[in-house]
Amino acid sequence: MTKDPHIMHIPMNDLKREYALLQNEIDDGLSDVLRSGRYIGGDMVEGFEKSWADYLRAPYVISCANGTDALLIALMALSLEPGDEVIMPSYGYIAAAESAVLLGLKPVLVDVGVDYNIDVSLIEDAITDRTKVILPIHLFGLCADMQTIMAIAKKHQLYVIEDAAQASGGVVTIDGKPRKAGTVGTIGCFSHFPTKNLGCFGDGGSICCSDDDLVAKMKRIKRHGQTTKYIHEELGINSRLDAIQAAILKVKLVYLDQHNDRRRKVAKIYTDTINNEKLKVPDFIEDHTYHQYAIRVSVKERSAVKDLLQQNGIATTTYYPKAISDQEAMSDKAIVHSDTRSKELALSNLCLPMSPTMTDEEITYICDVINDKL
């Protein structure tokens, strides 16, 4: 079959293009690691932790194997009891709820707002005497309302774990001052999965925390609970960021702000240009890092819209097709406080291509197809 020359082929994100952009620096970093013979831990991993902590303006970053481990380690560090409750949104990626269940904790699923983040007006109603943690997910790169969440946490003496997996480089205003996503709560968790805003070329994760005791505990937990070599006073897991991934992240961190700016530019063009009554584009938000750009389409139209975009070479993805409360894995494991909007979003969400390497021509093409062909 010959390709229609009028059709551009645009994936959700183009990792090969991102690599090509930074190839020389990344190759140099990789070669340093390969020649060093130090593939686990060592200067490269410590160097990335230090650079990421400096960027976040945080005292410590602990690297780990992936974003799910980051959440697991954070929850393990808080010395919670089985049955303790963790309030989190009923829409988003399942990793937080799954980690809580695996530790014998109860996720309490609270509905989200139209911005896909936990609806803070519902949180206090979900608090019981078993509640120990509020765990917002900064979905699609937009921080949850951390000012309100921190005030509720303070009032009820709760920990806050930020799932900042999708929000690397995001900013949230607290008491009038800008703070980086993941640095406001008791512990912040990041994923460096390749497609994330700060992604490596495999799995990777990190944890940000400013409490010395918790940091020491999480460092032990990620090394099998080891205090000194081969001495294990508590149970832990094995969760390491490879030196090779650290080398890539060190290079990509330098470009994080620039890449997030480009994501915002792409989002602004989408929001300003797309005009089609079959779908609803989100308002443009300056502090958003646009890990994803999510539009909403009516349930009836979604699959036709997706197909037509596909026929025109434009990839789309639904993040996520089910509310967390509707996932079979969660049945009987979570307490569902509220999930009406979560269910609605699961049926209407459609994400458009989003990456820092998209060209203006590609963005214009997508807007034209949506405006003229749908």
Supply angle C-alpha 88, 293, 317, rounded to 5: 85
- The nearer residue to ligand PLP, 137 or 256, going by C-beta atoms, is 137
The set of residues, in sequence order, having a beta carbon less than 8 Å from that of 312 and lying 6+ positions away, is 7, 369, 373
Instruction: Establish if 206 lies at the interface with ligand PLP (CB under 6 A).
Output: no
Residues 170-189 that bind ligand PLP (CB under 6 A): none
The residue of the chain with the least Cβ separation from ligand PLP equals 67
Q: Nearest-5° angle of CA 158, CA 163, CA 167?
A: 135
The distance of closest approach from Cβ of residue 61 to ligand PLP in the complex, given in angstroms and rounded to an integer, is 15
Q: Residue 288 corresponds to which tokens in the numbers above?
A: 């958003």
Distance (Å, rounded) from C-alpha 352 to C-alpha 178?
Answer: 28
CB of 18 to ligand PLP, least distance (A): 17
Question: Which residue bears the tokens 């495999």?
Answer: 202
Cite the DSSP H helix spans in the chain.
15-36, 43-56, 67-77, 95-102, 123-126, 146-156, 212-221, 243-254, 256-273, 299-311, 340-348, 360-373
ω before 116 within 30° of 0 (cis)? Answer: no
| Residue 63 is a binding residue for ligand PLP (CB under 6 A) | no
| Listed ranges 90-98, 115-123, 209-217, 346-354: which one lies at the site for ligand PLP (CB under 6 A) | 90-98
* Per CB under 6 A, 239 contacts ligand PLP: no
CA separation for the pair 226, 142 (Å, rounded): 36
Question: Which pair of tokens denotes residue 94?
Answer: 């399942």
Packed helices 43-56 and 15-36: angle between N→C axes, nearest 10 degrees = 130
Contact 208, 174 (CB under 8 A): no
DSSP helix/strand/coil, 326: helix
Among 205, 236, 282, 353, binds ligand PLP (CB under 6 A): 205
Instruction: Confirm or reject binding of residue 62 to ligand PLP (CB under 6 A).
Output: no
Identify the three-state secondary structure at position 275. coil
Judged by beta carbon, residue 131 or residue 197, the one nearer ligand PLP is 197
Minimum distance from CB of 95 to ligand PLP (Å)?
Answer: 4
CA 113 from centre of chain: 17
Q: Which of 13, 183, 191, 197 binds ligand PLP (CB under 6 A)?
A: 191
Position among 61, 165, 209, 367 found at the interface with ligand PLP (CB under 6 A)? 165
Interacting residue with ligand PLP among 33, 95, 100, 334 (CB under 6 A):
95
Query: Which one of residues 193, 290, 293, 365 is an interface residue with ligand PLP (CB under 6 A)?
Result: 193
Contact 317/12 with Cβ under 8 angstroms?
yes
Q: Which stretch binds ligand PLP (CB under 6 A): 62-70, 230-238, 263-271, 354-362?
A: 62-70
How many residues sit in the footprint of ligand PLP (CB under 6 A)? 14
**Binding residue for ligand PLP, selected from 44, 52, 61, 92, defined by CB under 6 A:** 92
**Contact residue for ligand PLP among 13, 52, 63, 67 (CB under 6 A):** 67
Q: Which of residues 103-162 bind ligand PLP (CB under 6 A)?
A: 137
- Is the CB of 66 or the CB of 342 nearer to ligand PLP? 66
201 sits near ligand PLP (criterion: CB under 6 A): no
Residues lying near ligand PLP in the complex (CB under 6 A) are found at: 66-68, 92-93, 95, 137, 163, 165-166, 191, 193, 203, 205
